[in-house]
């Protein structure tokens, strides 16, 4: 049994540093290959790092809350098996949390060897966070079997390709009852964080348990502004919050965007009555059973359609060239407890309305859980921000850095609207958009926004 030190890896996207958020193990704990050792915060997301060794934890080398550079030794383990250090890691059994393990690259300096050992240290195997957390000790087979019997594992992510269907909610889900609520601890914590009363949630799990999707769906029905008790003024006069992690990344991106790309913004009021009627019909459709449907779905589809008609809004600017992208990685600005992030739906232009609905729902759930991976937040081509959920009519959104267009969907509410010469109550919204004027001229921006508005006014145009 040899002591091995593991270095903080680059888990992707050119990571240079990360903060140690929470250790999942302690000295003396027994770990198996792929057991989660630590949760780190990069500039984009929370990431869990699994162990490439089976053995016993020796020492924690970096305390929680400390930010360290990639390549810094963070933990030592007395290993009893060979490390996972090559492509063979991809062929190893699936990690406990269901994610695929990937091998992080080392820096040019290599890794630090354990004292008295000529073998180089292994770099931690890194992969994106999942909905479930790691455990300190390896479970026995009987414990794992009992867990699977009482609380089945979450379904794998939908790959949304041809021939693969989303996981529908049971057609006749059991109704909420006055009896004990069956829910796993992470689900109860999520419900508490979102202010959801589990007793009011209709469970759809296979054993009558409340699922993560059930909680998020219930939370979406609750107004953002709750009548909560106003807290007393704190006794301390100031709070000093370190600028790091996601907040630091947001600040750099916003400043870089605002003072690099010359923004131009446009706004248009739209009669969204037919969109609201269409959404209502989709909610009652058996094809969309168990899938969250909202006006955001129609807006997303409208943007994809408008991009096809106005491709220059789906581009990137460099000092040497304009790169027009003939695919849509649709970014969705999401407000999370950790700050604003913009994950994106890859190849959205290839998706049906149902596939897009499933992708948006899973993206939203993952973002709210703080489990969005760096890969899901890279490569975006155009972004939508739904400020309507906060009751806002419109705004002037700042471009997601590296993109040349962003659209803001305002709240949809009934207003007086003239129809055929008569004033009627209609569902009206205001759509705002910002563009990089180096790439998008005013006429293109206007045509693009008009195309988006035309779909919101008449979703049947999507059938062309």
Active centre residues (catalytic) = 437
- The residue among 192, 194, 216, 193 whose CA lies nearest residue 204 is 216
Structure tokens at 90: 């991809």
User: How far does the chain reach from its first CA to its final CA, in angstroms?
Assistant: 66
User: Quick one: DSSP state of residue 357?
Assistant: H
User: Residue 341 phi/psi, 5° resolution?
Assistant: -130, 160
SS3 for 82-133, per residue?
CCCCCHHHHHCCCCCCCCCCEECECCCCCCCCCCCCCCCCCECEEEECCCCC
Sign of torsion over alpha carbons 167, 342, 34, 27: negative
- The residue among 103, 87, 101, 93 whose CA lies nearest residue 36 is 101
Helix (H) or strand (E) holding 75: strand 73-79
User: How far is C-alpha 325 from the geometric centre of its chain's CA atoms?
Assistant: 23
SS3 for 290-332, per residue?
CCCCCHHHHHHHHHHHHHHHCHHHCEEECCCCEEECCCCCEEE
**Pair 329, 343: CB distance under 8 Å:** no
Instruction: Please tell me the distance from the alpha carbon of residue 194 to that of residue 203, in angstroms, as a whole number.
Output: 17
- Ramachandran class of 446: left when φ > 0, alpha when ψ lies in -120 to 50, beta otherwise: alpha
- The residue among 102, 91, 80, 130 whose CA lies nearest residue 10 is 102
- Please name the residue that has the structure tokens 């729902």: 361
């Amino acid at each position: 049994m040899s002591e091995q030190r593991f270095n903080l890896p680059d888990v992707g996207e050119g990571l240079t540093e990360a903060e140690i958020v929470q250790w999942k193990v302690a000295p003396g704990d027994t770990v198996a290959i792929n057991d989660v050792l630590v949760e780190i915060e990069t500039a984009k997301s929370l990431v869990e790092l699994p162990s490439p060794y089976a053995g016993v934890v020796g020492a924690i080398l970096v305390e929680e809350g400390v930010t360290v550079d990639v390549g810094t030794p963070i933990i030592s383990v007395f290993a009893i098996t060979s490390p996972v250090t090559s492509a063979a890691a991809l062929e190893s059994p699936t990690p406990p949390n269901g994610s695929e393990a990937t091998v992080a690259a080392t820096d040019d300096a290599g890794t630090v060897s354990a004292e008295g050992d000529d073998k180089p240290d292994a770099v931690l195997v890194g992969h994106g966070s999942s909905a479930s957390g790691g455990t300190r000790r390896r479970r026995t087979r009987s414990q794992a079997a009992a867990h699977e019997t009482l609380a089945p594992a979450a379904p794998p992510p939908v790959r949304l390709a041809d021939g693969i269907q989303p996981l529908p909610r049971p057609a006749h889900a059991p109704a909420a009852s006055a009896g004990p609520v069956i829910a796993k601890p992470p689900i109860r914590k999520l419900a508490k964080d979102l202010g959801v009363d589990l007793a009011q949630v209709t469970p759809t799990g296979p054993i009558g348990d409340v699922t993560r999707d059930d909680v998020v769906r219930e939370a979406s029905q609750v107004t953002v502004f709750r009548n909560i008790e106003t807290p007393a003024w704190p006794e301390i006069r100031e709070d000093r919050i370190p600028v790091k992690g996601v907040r630091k990344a947001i600040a750099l991106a916003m400043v870089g965007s605002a003072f690099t790309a010359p923004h131009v913004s446009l706004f248009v009021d739209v009669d969204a009555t037919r969109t609201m009627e269409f959404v209502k019909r989709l909610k009652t459709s058996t094809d969309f059973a168990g899938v969250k449907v909202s006006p955001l779905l129609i807006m997303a589809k409208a943007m994809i359609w408008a991009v096809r008609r106005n491709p220059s809004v789906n581009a990137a600017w460099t000092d040497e060239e304009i790169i027009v992208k003939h695919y849509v990685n649709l970014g969705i600005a999401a407000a999370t407890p950790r700050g604003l992030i913009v994950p994106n739906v890859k190849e959205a232009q290839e998706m049906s309305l149902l596939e897009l609905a499933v992708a948006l729902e899973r993206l939203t759930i993952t973002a709210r859980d703080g489990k969005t991976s760096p890969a899901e937040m890279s490569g975006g081509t155009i972004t939508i921000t739904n400020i309507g959920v906060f009751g806002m009519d419109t705004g002037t959104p700042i471009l997601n850095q590296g993109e040349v267009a962003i659209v803001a969907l305002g709240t949809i509410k009934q207003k007086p609207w003239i129809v055929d010469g008569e004033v009627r109550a209609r569902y009206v919204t205001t759509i705002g958009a910002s563009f990089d004027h180096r790439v998008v001229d005013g006429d293109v921006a206007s045509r693009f926004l008009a195309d988006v508005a035309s779909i919101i006014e008449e979703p049947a145009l999507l059938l062309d």
